[in-house]
Amino acid sequence: MKPLPYLLILLLFIACETKQVNKQVLEDWKDEIKPVHSSKLMQKIDSGTYQLFFGKDSGGLAIVPTFYLDETAVTNAEYLTFLKSNPQWTKSRVLHIFADSTYLSKWKSDYEIPANADPNAPVTNVSWFAAKAYAKSVGKRLPTVDEWEFAALASRDAKNGKGTPEYDNYLMKSYLNRGMYLKPVKQSPANFYGIYDMFGVIWEWTEDFNSVMITNDSRNNASDENLFCAGSSNSTSDLRNYAAFIRYAMRGSVKANYCINNYGFRCAKDVETSKK
């Protein structure tokens, strides 16, 4: 037998072994998250249903179990505390597979927040991976799309304000705001649940941010490594809901390692693991 086939087999073997080793290194790196104390108030969101907006199940009802949601987005000060305990997530040390070159790009250094941003303003320019790492450090997780959308339906006085003039006008006006992410959280009154700034301040990462672009089977079997990109949208249940179009289009346009000027996050927690 000529040596070329042997060489090809050897190279394939080495490539497979290297891939497995690199994957294990990445998993180990992500698991090295030190716990961080958080005193942020969480609000209980009682279970309910809402009408799905996108995907092949558009128009159907999604059942959302009871969960807890942070009352505000994670702030610069809170994220700084996380970085001091987990320096592998600082801008000089983060692995580029987990965050692109704009990660915390406005920060002066690893531990200096932007000069024009308030310490209590939402942290931005963080990737989905970074948001997940933070959530893990405080014993929480990212909310799902269903959880986020369900909580965001609340107006100031009702669990579901959709369709009322006050709610719809507030949503449309909120998307016209500029630079609100540089100001402290709680810029507008809380909604029915006691949750602040769901609209008009930042875009927010969700656990399954691109799930509306993939099939249900893919959604159920998706791993962190697979949640990178999305294809075209499928269908919508409400052609009049322009604000929702914007949100879903934004989610479908990002990858998990993207870091954007006005993209931040808040955390969620299951009821059975929450301690109030």
Q: Which CATH class is domain 40-273?
A: alpha beta
Give yes or no for residue 37 having a pLDDT over 90.
yes
3-state helix, strand, coil in the chain (%, to 5): 35, 10, 55
Residue 191 confidence class, pLDDT cut points 50, 70, 90:
very high
Section 39-60 average pLDDT: 78
Tokens of 147: 């959880």
Name 204's bridge partners. 264
Cα–Cα dist 201/131, whole Å = 17
Q: What is the pLDDT of residues 59-95, one digit of tens each?
A: 578 889 999 999 999 999 999 999 999 999 999 999 9
Cα–Cα dist 78/66, whole Å = 26
Cα–Cα dist 92/215, whole Å = 37
Give yes or no for residue 256 having a pLDDT over 60.
yes
Section 224-244 average pLDDT: 41
Helix (H) or strand (E) holding 10: helix 3-31
Query: What are the C-alpha distances in Å from 54 to residues 58, 62, 67, 79, 211?
Result: 5, 11, 22, 32, 10
The whole-number pLDDT of residue 109 equals: 96
Section 103-111 average pLDDT: 96
Q: Mean pLDDT score of the chain, rounded to an integer?
A: 79
The whole-number pLDDT of residue 95 equals: 95
Cα–Cα dist 64/60, whole Å = 13
Cα–Cα dist 13/19, whole Å = 10
Section 144-161 average pLDDT: 89
Higher pLDDT, 102 or 226: 102
Give yes or no for residue 203 having a pLDDT over 70.
yes
Section 171-181 average pLDDT: 74
Section 182-188 average pLDDT: 90
Higher pLDDT, 173 or 27: 173
How many contiguous H segments (helices) and E segments (strands) does the chain have? 7, 7
Higher pLDDT, 76 or 237: 76
- Helices in 66-224 by DSSP H: which ranges? 76-85, 128-137, 145-152, 165-174, 216-221
Phi, psi (degrees; rounded to nearest 5) at 272: -65, -20
Section 101-125 average pLDDT: 95
Neighbours of 116 (CB within 10 A): 9
Q: What is the pLDDT of residues 118-142, one digit of tens each?
A: 999 999 999 999 999 999 999 999 9
Higher pLDDT, 62 or 21: 62
Residue 102 confidence class, pLDDT cut points 50, 70, 90:
very high
Q: How far apart are the first and last CA of the chain?
A: 70
Residue 153 carries which DSSP code?
Answer: T
Contact residues for 110 (Cβ-Cβ < 8 A; gap 6+): 83, 87, 90, 91, 92, 93
Burial class of residue 157 (count of CB atoms within 10 Å of its CB; 0-12, 13-18, 19+): exposed
Section 109-122 average pLDDT: 94
Cα–Cα dist 145/24, whole Å = 29
Q: How big is the chain, counted in residues?
A: 276
Section 177-191 average pLDDT: 86
Phi, psi (degrees; rounded to nearest 5) at 221: -105, 5
Cα–Cα dist 43/273, whole Å = 14
